[in-house]
Structure 1
């Protein structure tokens, strides 16, 4: 199982590439902080705020792209069944590194 990790403290950096290492469980927990309406799903605006909080550039574009990429049922939000798709997007576009759970 792949995992990723984001904390409110300074992020853990990878050995040489500077990417943040996060577990999937921690990524979900971190994202839930931005679920303003408490519906258990992440909207493009909530994802934008998460990206901005992380210090990311082009947060509006990345948020729209992230939801479009991860939202397989096209309802405009990311739910628990689609979070893995958002993890893949985060690995490619948000500077995260997925680390294996057997470390």
Structure 2
């Protein structure tokens, strides 16, 4: 998944901190409610050129959405960071 941050890249993707990833993802919060919906997450995955974005967003929401309400809020964002690292090939590092 190609996500542009600081121009730091590796062979298999871009490197960012968890906070950079969260800030990037919040750009897709189109209704500005502070949560990421299934549709907003699909837009983010599609923006990166990700294939099978509908399938990936379903898996991502299911993995991150601890309370099962269909949204990823700030308390669940770390779950999404973990999913992105394991499944979407995003490199999250501590700077």
Give runs of ≥4 in structure 1 deviating > 3 Å.
Answer: 6-9
Instruction: Using structure 1 for the length normalisation, give the TM-score.
Output: 0.82
User: Does 2:39 align with 1:45?
Assistant: yes
Counterpart position of 2:8: 12
Correspondence list, 1:22-101, <5 A: 22-101=16-95
Alpha-carbon RMSD: 1.6
Task: Give the Å deviation of 1:74.
Answer: 0.7
Instruction: Using structure 2 for the length normalisation, give the TM-score.
Output: 0.88
**Where in structure 1 are there 5+ consecutive unaligned residues?**
1-5
State how many pairs are aligned: 93
SS across alignment from 1:100: coil
Residue 55 to residue 41, structure 1, CA distance change in 2 (3 Å): same
